[in-house]
Structure 1
Amino acid sequence: MCGREQEKIMMKRFFKKHGWRYIPGFLFLLISSYITTLAPIALGHAIDYMDMDVALIDQSKVYRQAFYIILIAIGVFITRYIWRYFIIGNSRFLENFLREELFVKLENLPVSFLSKQRSGDLMAYAVNDVGAVRMTFGQVIAMSVSGLSTAVMAIYSMVTKVDPKLTLLALLPVPVAVFVIVKLGGIVRRKFRYVQSLFSELSGEVNETIMGVQVIKSFAKEEERLDEFSDISKTMYDANVNLADTSSLIWPSISVIFGLCYAIGLIVGGHMVLAGKLSLGALVTFNGSLLLVQQPVMSLGRIINMLQRGLASYKRLQVILNQPGIPEKEMEDAQEPVGGDIDIKDLTFRYPETENNALDHISLHLPKGATLGVVGPTGSGKTTLMHLLLKMYPVPERSVYIGGTDITEIPAKAVREQAGFVPQDGFLFSASVRDNIKFYQPGATDEDIVRAAKLASVHDDIASFPDGYDTQVGERGTHLSGGQKQRIALARALIRNPQLLILDDTLSAVDNHTEQQILTRLSDYYDGKTTVIVSHRLSAVKHAQEIIFIKDGQIAERGTHDQLMAQNGLYAQMYLQQEEGGDCDEKK
C-alpha cells in the first residue's frame, strides 16, 4: 500500500469517528454569523428613531433596539461557545490522534530509517507540526467559514438594507486587498518552511548538548558549543525576524485599503444622506456591515499564514507517516516456539545507500545452549551481525536459520520476544530503577527484580542508593555511573529469562573482577541457553565454546580461546596487548 493511500485511510479513520462534530459546529457557526449581522441593522434603526424632532422620538422603539442588541450579544455568545466546542474541540481530538499515530509510526519504523533522522526533527514533528495541523483543522476552518459567511451576509445586508451602488463602490478596493494577502502568503509559506528546518536543527543541537554534557565538560568545550549554538540561534532569530517582517506587512496593507473603502462609503454615503436618498441610520448600518466585511478580510492574512504553516507541517508529517513501516507479518506471533540451533550460511549484508559490505560471507553454527564470543576491531561488523540476529534490518533469505527455519519466515516480534539484547550504551528510561528493570516484564514481582539485579551484580549498588529500587535514574540514567547503567540494562534483559542472550559489549564499563563475577553467574544460571557475547575485552569471551574474530566484515579467525592463542594470530596479539594493559576500574 502506497503512502498516499495510507494517509487517506488514516484521515478517513479519524473523520469516521470524529467528523460528525463538524456538522453541529458549522450549523451553530452559521447561526452565529447571521446573528452578528443583525447588530448593525438594530443600531441603524435606533439612530433613525432618534434622528427626528425630540417631540416625535418614541423612546420605547429606541429601548427595543437596545434590547435587541443585548439579545444579539447573548445569542452570539451562546452560539459561538457551541461552535467552538465542536470545531476547536475536534481539532484537539485530531491533535491527539496525530500524536498517537506518529508515536505508533515511530515505533513501527525500521532502524535503517530512524538511524538517519535527527532527534530534533522528530521532536519538531511531535510538537510544532502536529500543533500547526491542529490549528488548520480548528481555527483556520472556523475562521474561514465564519469570516466568509459573515462577509456574505453583511454584503447582502448592505445591498438590501442600504444601497447596491454604494455597496459596489465601497467594495471596489477589496479585491486588491485579497491579492496582496495571497501574494504575501506565498512568501510567508516559504519562509516558514525555512524557520521550521532551523527549529529542527536547533532542537537537535540542544538535545545533543544535554545528552553529551559530561563529554563537553570533560573536554572544557563549553565555549565552543555555546558558539555553535549561538550561530544556529542567531540564524533562527534572523529568519524569524524576516518572517515577522513579511507577515507584518499584511495587516497595515489591508488597513490602508479598507481605509479607502470607508472613505468612499463616507463621501458617497454622506452625499446621499444630505440629498435625502439615504437615512443616517442606514449609513450607520452600512459602516457597521462594512466593518463585518473588513474583519474577515483582515483575518485572511492570518488565515493564509496559519494555513500555509499547517500545509507545510502536514507535508513534513507525511514524510514520517508515509514511510513504509515494518511489515505486519513481522509483528505477528509465532505459529511455533522459536528456538534451537542458530545457523548462519554465507551471510552477506550491506547497509542501504552504502557501497561496501558490512558483513561478507559469514558462516557459523551455534548449537542451542552454547556460548559464542564475537570479537574484533571497531567497525568490523560485530554489532551488525547482532542486529541481523534480531531482525533489526532486513535479513537476506536463506542466510540465517533458527531451529532449522529461515529467519525471514519467522516474525521479528517472535524472534525478539525470545531474545534478551543488551547494547553497549545501556540506555535507561527516565524512571525508577525498579521500572527500568521490569520494563520487559511489567508484572514482575520484587523477587524477580532482585534476582535479576543480583545476576547482573548490581543489587548491592542499588541497595546503597537513597531510595533503593525506587531511586530515579535521571534522563538516560545520568545519575548513575557507566557500569551501573550497563548492569541495570543487563538485569532488564535477564528478568525475561530469554532463550537467546546477546551482550553487545555490555560489560565494557565494569572492572574485570565484576565482569568475571557476572559471567560466572550467567554461566551457572543460564546453563542450556544460548548466549552471544560481543566484546572488545577478550577476557569476557575466553570461556566461550567458540570465538570468532571479525575483521572488515569477514571471519578472520575462529576457535576456542586455547586454539586461537595457539594460532598466534590477530586474537592472540589483541589478548596479549590487553593482558599487558592490566585491569581497569569501572567507568563513570
Structure 2
Amino acid sequence: MSVFLKLDWFFKERKKEYILGLLMLTIVGILILIPPKIIGYVIDEIGSRTLTTVSLLKWIAIIIVVALVMYVMRYYWRMMIFGSSNYLAKILREKLFCHFTKMSSSFYQERRIGDLMAHATNDVSAVQQTAGAGVLTLFDSIVTGGFVIVAMAFTIDWRLTFIALIPMPFMALSTSFYGKLLHERFGIAQAAFSDLNDKTQESIAGIKVIKTFGQQKEDIADFTKLSENLVSKNMKVARVDSLFDPTISLIVGISFLLSLGFGAKFIVDGAMTIGDLVAFNTYLGLLVWPMLAFGMLFNIMERGSASYDRIHQLLSIPVEIDDKVDALDTRPAGDIIFAVDDFKFPGEQKSSLKNVHFELKQGQTLGIVGKTGAGKTAILKLLLREFEGYEGKIIFGQHQIDEYKKSRLKEAIGYVPQEHFLFSTTITNNIAFSNIDVEREKVEHVAKLAYIHEDILAFSNGYETIVGERGVSLSGGQKQRISIARALLTNPELLILDDSLSAVDAKTEEAILQSLKNERQHATTIITSHRLSAIEHAHLIIVLHEGTIVEKGTHEQLMALKGKYYEMYQLQQLERLVEKGGEADE
C-alpha cells in the first residue's frame, strides 16, 4: 500500500473526483447485491408454487431498474477515476520534461537518452495504472467483497459464510509473497527496457554511420541480444504474474466446494432453503471478482511502486545550476572579463582550465585556437553557465554571470555549437526557433547574413522545405549556416561560433565573417576554430595549450612572436598551397 501513500499529494489534489467516483462505486457495490437475492426469492417461490405473473414481472422490473442505475454509475465512476489517472500521467510527464530542461550537461553525460525516455513512457504508464485500476481494485475488492460477505452472513447463513471464507487467508499470504517477487523483478525488467530503448534510439540516430561501415548485422545482433534479455526479464515477471489467477481460482474453487458440501447439509437439516443456497453461491460468484481484483492489486501496486520510485529518484536529482534568489532580471550587455584560475569538469582530476584570463570590450571579436582538448570548449561552457564550480570570476557587463537569471543570460548569447542540431520541420521554423512568430523578412535577412539564402531558394519548397530529422537532407555546410542564421535571429549581445565554419569553403567563410563584421559592429563575438583564417580579423586571439593561455595578441603580434600560432599558421598556409597544386598566392 506504500505506493498510495506516495501518491497522497495527487489524491488530495483530485479529492473531489475520487470521492464522487468511489461513492458511485459504493452504490454499484450495494446494487449488485440485489439480483442474487431476487433469484433466491424466485427459486423459493417456484419451489413453493407461489410464483405469479405479477410477482415475476415485479422482480424483473426491479432487476431492470437496478441494471440501468448501475450502467449510469459505472460510466461516471470510470470517468472520475480513470480520468484522474490520465491527469496524473500528464502531471508526471510534464514534471519529467520540465526537470529535463533544467538539468545541466553533466546530467546528460551520466544518463542515456533511452533510459530517460523509458521513465517518461513505461514508468509513467505503470504509475497511471496505480491511480486508476489500482484505486479501483483496492476499493472494489474491499467494498464489493465486504458487502457481499455481509449479505451472505446476515441474509443467508453466517456459519456457511465463515466456512466458505476459511481458505481466504492462504490467498492473502500467497499474493503478498508474489507481490514482493514481482516488485523486484519488475524493476529489473524496466531497466532492461531502458537498455533496449537506448539502443533503438542510438541505432536509428546513427543509421548512416552503421551503414557506412557495413555494421548492420553486428548492430542487429546487439539489438537481438538486448531484446532477448528484455524478454527473459519480462518472462521472469510473467512467471510470477501468472501465479495470481490460478492461485486465486484454486482458493475460490475450494470455497465453492465447501459451500456446496456444507450448504447441502444445512438444507437437509432444514437450516436453509434451496433458494438460499443458490443465492449464496451467486454471492460467492460475485466474490470471485473482488478476489481476483485483490490479486491484481498486488500486481498493479508493485509495478506502480517500482516505477514511481524510479521517477521520484530522477526528479529528486537537484538542479546543479539554478538562479539565485535575487537574480537580476535584466539582459546582460557590455564588456566581458574572463578570469578563471582553475576549473575541472565534474569527475575529472585534471584541470581543464588553469589561469585563463582575458578581457573583451563590447563590440570586439575574440579568436580562440588550440589543439583538441586544449580548453576551448571549457571556456564556452563556462560562459554559457553549463558548468560551475570554478575558481575565479566571469563578468558580463557590470555583474558576474551567475548574478543574472539563466533565461536572461541565454537571451544575450547566441551559440552555434560544433554539432548542429536541426529539428524535423521546415527551414523557416528551424531558423525562427527562438521566435516562431517572427516576420518572414527577418528570417530571410539572417539567412542572407549566413549566406544560406540562395541555397534555400534552390530547394524545391524554398523556406518551407522539411529538412528531416537532425537536418538529414542537408549538407554539413548548409546545416552550419542555418544554425548561424538561427543564432543571429535573436540579435545576441554575444555571438559564439564554436568551430562553426569548418564545413564551408574558404570563400564562403570569408563572406560570412565579413557580413557579421558589418552587421554586428557594436556586438561581441567569440570564435573558436582550427582554421586560422576564421580568426585573423579578431581584435584578440588567445592560443591554448593544455588548458592554459600560452600566447595572446592580435594576428600581427602573434605572427611576430613566431611561436605556436606562427607555426600553426605556416603549416596551414603550406596545406593550402598543396591543395592549390603548389602554386603560390600572388
TM-score calculated relative to the size of structure 2: 0.94
For 1:548 and 1:331, the matched residues in 2 are separated by: 35
- Paired position in structure 2 for 1:214: 208
| AA partner of residue 48 (structure 2) | M
* Structure 2 counterparts to residues 175-324 of structure 1, below 5 A: 175-324=169-318
Q: CA deviation at 1:564?
A: 2.6
Q: CA deviation at 1:325?
A: 2.4
Identity of aligned residues (%): 37
| AA partner of residue 106 (structure 1) | F
- Residues 1:151 and 2:157 aligned together: no
Structure 2 unmatched ranges of 5 or more: 581-586
| AA partner of residue 272 (structure 1) | F
Q: 1:540 to 1:92 in 2, by over 3 A?
A: same
- Paired position in structure 2 for 1:4: none
The farther-off stretch of 394-403 and 495-504 is 394-403
- Paired position in structure 1 for 2:32: 36
For 1:552 and 1:331, the matched residues in 2 are separated by: 36
- Paired position in structure 2 for 1:167: 161
CA RMSD of aligned residues (A): 2.1
For 2:197 and 2:41, the matched residues in 1 are separated by: 58
Q: 1:569 to 1:403 in 2, by over 3 A?
A: same
- Residues 1:487 and 2:481 aligned together: yes
- Paired position in structure 1 for 2:575: 581
- 2:323 partner SS: helix
- 1:362 partner SS: strand
TM-score calculated relative to the size of structure 1: 0.93
1:549 is matched with which residue: 524, 533, 543?
Answer: 543
Deviations 1:95-154 (A, max 9, x none): 112212222121122222233221111111111111111111111101210121000000
For 1:440 and 1:320, the matched residues in 2 are separated by: 28
Structure 1 unmatched ranges of 5 or more: 1-6
| AA partner of residue 303 (structure 1) | L
For 1:11 and 1:520, the matched residues in 2 are separated by: 61
Q: CA deviation at 1:491?
A: 0.4
2:345 is matched with which residue: 322, 347, 351?
Answer: 351
Q: Is the 8 A contact 1:124 1:200 kept in 2?
A: yes
Q: Is the 8 A contact 1:44 1:281 kept in 2?
A: yes
Q: Is the 8 A contact 1:351 1:357 kept in 2?
A: yes
Q: Is the 8 A contact 1:331 1:412 kept in 2?
A: no
Q: Is the 8 A contact 1:132 1:309 kept in 2?
A: yes
- Residues 1:47 and 2:78 aligned together: no
For 1:480 and 1:584, the matched residues in 2 are separated by: 25
Q: CA deviation at 1:58?
A: 2.5
- Paired position in structure 2 for 1:139: 133
For 2:434 and 2:38, the matched residues in 1 are separated by: 69
| AA partner of residue 128 (structure 2) | R
- Residues 1:563 and 2:551 aligned together: no
| AA partner of residue 82 (structure 1) | Y
Q: CA deviation at 1:407?
A: 2.1
- Paired position in structure 2 for 1:465: 459
For 2:268 and 2:162, the matched residues in 1 are separated by: 20
- Paired position in structure 2 for 1:408: 402
The farther-off stretch of 170-179 and 344-353 is 344-353
The farther-off stretch of 162-171 and 375-384 is 375-384
For 2:172 and 2:404, the matched residues in 1 are separated by: 60
* Structure 2 counterparts to residues 2-21 of structure 1, below 5 A: 12=9, 17-21=13-17
Q: CA deviation at 1:578?
A: 3.1
| AA partner of residue 67 (structure 1) | A
- Paired position in structure 1 for 2:51: 57
Q: Is the 8 A contact 1:388 1:395 kept in 2?
A: no
- Paired position in structure 2 for 1:475: 469
Q: Is the 8 A contact 1:43 1:69 kept in 2?
A: no
Q: CA deviation at 1:51?
A: 1.8
Q: Is the 8 A contact 2:423 2:469 kept in 1?
A: yes
Deviations 1:524-558 (A, max 9, x none): 11112110001122221122111112222111222
Q: CA deviation at 1:206?
A: 0.8
For 2:407 and 2:579, the matched residues in 1 are separated by: 38
For 2:231 and 2:23, the matched residues in 1 are separated by: 42
Q: 1:11 to 1:156 in 2, by over 3 A?
A: closer
